[in-house]
Structure 1
Amino acid sequence: MLDYFALGILIFVGLVLFYGIIVMHDIPYEIAVHRNHPHQDAIHATGWVSLFTLHALWPFLWIWAMLYREDRGWGFSDGKSPRNHVQHLEQQIAELQQRLERLEAPRTLPQASPEPVPAPQPPSTPAPGEGI
């Protein structure tokens, strides 16, 4: 009776280890699915290959799955989404184009209202008898 119980425990532990390793190797794939990773299938296939390479690839799979986030892509940013970043760049381009148009516009000096210019007066000569 005790022999059968020990055999049952050994089979149970073996099954738990077998399925535990399979579940553990699917963790990077599950992360990739959760993050909407563009290489989900490649991560999943490489996880299965990692089972046969004594788990040497698994840490790299974890890193690969963790690098991508849908809101920022592959890069490191302040949390702005790529769409917001593109909109921000387009707004800056529009502002720069407006500034360039203002700089390239022909410059005209402000015209003053034309005032009549007084005619030059001949120098006054002293009348006879007036003098020094």
Structure 2
Amino acid sequence: MLDYLALGILVFASIVIFYGIIAIHDIPYEISVHRKHPQQDAIHVAGWISLFTLHVIWPFLWIWATLYREDRGWGFAKEKEESSQSADFEEQLSRLDERIEKLEKVTSAARAKKKSREEIE
């Protein structure tokens, strides 16, 4: 009886380990699908190949899959755009500051005129 129980545990553990390894190898592919990576198929194939290389290349697949993001691509173009946008925003901010100063001068001059007219009357 114990022999059959031990055999059942051994078969169950073997099946869990087998399918666990297959599930683990697919994680980089799932990441690439979620991020809409342009090289999803290559990552998937490399994941299957990593089964035969005892997952030696698997960490590199993980890195490869996480490098790409749909909103910013490979991550280099966004920084350049942000720096040019920040320069544009700073320029716009300085122009707005100048306009505010001019408007404050005009309104203070108008208030001074109004006070002088009220004093005269």
Confirm whether residue 30 of structure 1 aligns to residue 30 of structure 2: yes
Q: Which residue of 2 aligns with 1:40?
A: 40
The separation in 2 between residues aligned to 1:26 and 1:67, in whole angstroms, is 17
RMSD over aligned CA atoms reads: 2.0
Q: Which has the larger radius of gyration?
A: 1
Per the alignment, residue 3 of structure 1 pairs with 3
Please give the alpha-carbon distance, in whole angstroms, between the structure 1 residues aligned to 2:46 and 2:71: 25
Quote the Cα distance in structure 2 between the aligned partners of 1:39 and 1:53: 21
Report Cα offsets for 1:1-34 as digits up to 9, x if no partner. Answer: 1111110000000000000000000000000000
- Please list every run of at least 4 consecutive aligned residues from structure 1 whose deviation after the TM superposition is greater than 4 angstroms: none
Cα distance between partner residues in 2 of 1:13 and 1:46 = 26
User: What stretches of structure 2 of length at least 5 have no aligned partner?
Assistant: 89-121
Distance 1:52 1:10 in 2: 23
Partner of 2:56: 56
Alignment coverage as a number of residue pairs: 83
Q: Which has the higher contact order (CA 8 A, sep 6+)?
A: 2
- Taking structure 1 as the reference length, what is the TM-score of the superposition? 0.58
Identity of aligned residues (%): 72
Q: TM-score, normalised by structure 2?
A: 0.63
Taking the aligned partners of 1:6 and 1:56, their CA distance within structure 2 comes to 32
Aligned to 1:117: none
* Amino acid in structure 1 at the alignment position of 2:37: H
Give 5+ residue unaligned stretches, structure 1. 79-84, 93-132
* Residue number in structure 2 paired with 1:18: 18
